[in-house]
Every structure is written in C-alpha cells, then in structure tokens.
Amino acid sequence: MTQQTTEWFQELCPEAGSALRLQVTEPLHAEQSHYQKIEVYQTTHWGRLLVIDGLIMLTQRDNFLYHEMLAHPALFSHPAPRQVAIIGGGDCGTLLEVAKHPEVERIVQIDIDERVTRVAEQFFPELCAANQDPRVELLFLDGIRWMEQAPPASLDLIIVDSTDPIGPGEALFSPPFYAACRRALRNPGLLVQQSESPLLHLPILQRMQRQLREAGFAATRPLLFPQPSYTSGWWSATLAGNEGALELLREAAAEARPFTTHYYCPATHHAALALPPFLQQQLAVVE
C-alpha cells in the first residue's frame, strides 16, 4: 500500500506501524506488466528508485548492500562454486555480483517477468553489466517449475532473490520449493534466500529455518546486514547447507578477491553471522 504526493514516495508498513518516505523529483517510468506494476522514480538523494507493486525494490544509493550480501557470503562459503542458479533477481544486481567470481562456470537466472529485466537495463544499466557474460543464461520462466524440473545434483549454489512472501512470491517460501532445491543441489551445496527484517518479520525467519530443515538441509543460519531503504533498515538472508558447517569461509580467497566490493569483506562476512542474543533465543526453538 502506498501514498504519494508530487514530492514524496511513501511505502507503508502496517504490521510495524511505520513508513518509509523518499523524496522524488519526477516519475521516470510506469507500466503494468502481465504480472505486476513496475515503477521508476528519480529521487533527490538516493538516485533512481525501482518500485514493484508499490514496494521499494532498490535504490542506486544502497542496493550494493543487499546484492553483495546475497551473493558473496554464500560463494565464499562454498568450497568450489561452479554451477549457480538465481531464482528471481530480475533487476540483475545479484547476477552482477555472482559474475565477479571467475571460478563460477555457469549462471542461470530464472525470473518470471521479463519486463523487470528490460526496465532495469534501461534505467539501471550499471546493474546489468554482466547480462552479456557468456557464462550467463537469462530465462523468463516460472522459477518454481524450473527448479522442480532441474536435474538432481546439478547445482552448487541456489540464490533466491525473491520479493516478499506475499502473493506470487509466497510459493518461494514453501516446503515443496525447498525440497526441490535440496534435490537439485550437489554435495556440498548451498542455498541462500532473502528473509526479510529480523526485527519486524521474525516469524518468517523461524518458519523458513524450520521448513528448510524439514526439506533436508542439515544446517541453516541467518546473515544480517543493514539496508536503509527497506523496512526497519535491518535485513537478512538465510543460508542453508546440505552438509557441513555454515561458518566456514574461504578466508584467503575472500581477502584476495579479484574485484571491488563496497560492503562485503571477510570481516563483514563474520559479522553477518554473529547473532544478537534475542535472535539466538528466538531461533533456538527451530534447532
């Protein structure tokens, strides 16, 4: 639900009794695709703003936090990530970060709405710089069905860059989807999925970790990071592995990474895994 004036874009968060407002100078684009409403605004301080169905997806100013933390912790935790699938991620920011890893041999991104990617290519070209990488395959299909049909033990890492767990996105937070992901992963294999605000949406984190365990994942762990343009300013991704400990990190490789990051480094990787006491207590119930 949104309310707008000529100068402000506002996203309401009724479940938290709060709202986030960004000052805008002009609307740049609006369309109703077959699946959702896509809007782009120019803001005064946050660069361009991408909105889907009234919810903030990204800004040019702070999207690096989300995209780096959805990609690099998982890639540097896996011993040899070669085959990567991204479910969702139509703005291509996560894809851009994955493609920075030279050891990755193939990246397939499956997003149901091609229009999100085409709008991103027009208004956020910096996020789409890897779209023509020969290792990349862009598919505009139902990601849930694609995962159900994926060959067993064919992937090293699955990244679920999804919208909120409401409407069409709800099925990406479900036991059947997690079971399909588990079947498609090799040993060892990792899954990482955006998992909302640890402050405002704790039941979602608890439910995800329980369902991932029920689907056969041996370990789960939230990754915490700041995200100013999202509700509460504090966000999470949930990491799940089908074997071994999730605290492992190829530290030397992460330290010597052959690309630039703005937020991610080994220290922020370790910090993201450090849970404050209230989360330790609340998530212990699913162990």
Amino acid present at 83: Q
Whole-angstrom distance, CA of residue 111 vs CA of residue 163: 11
Amino acid present at 99: A
User: One of 62, 91, 111, 161 is an active-site residue; which one?
Assistant: 161
- Positive or negative CA dihedral for 198, 203, 209, 211? negative
Structural tokens at position 57: 């997806």
With a CB cutoff of 8 Å and minimum separation 6, the contacts of 6 are none
156 catalytically annotated: no
Closest CA to 217 of 171, 168, 181, 169: 181
Whether the CB-CB separation of 241 and 157 falls below 8 Å is answered with no
Omega within 30 of 0 (cis) for the link into 277: no
Hey, is 21 helix, strand or coil? strand
Whole-angstrom distance, CA of residue 21 vs CA of residue 263: 24
Whether the CB-CB separation of 116 and 52 falls below 8 Å is answered with yes
Whether the CB-CB separation of 27 and 40 falls below 8 Å is answered with yes
DSSP state of 151: P
What is the β-pairing status of strands 18-32 and 37-43? antiparallel
Task: Please identify which residue in the block is written with the tokens 């041996």.
Answer: 218
Neighbours of 213 (CB within 10 A): 16
Whole-angstrom distance, CA of residue 175 vs CA of residue 284: 20
Report the catalytic residues.
161
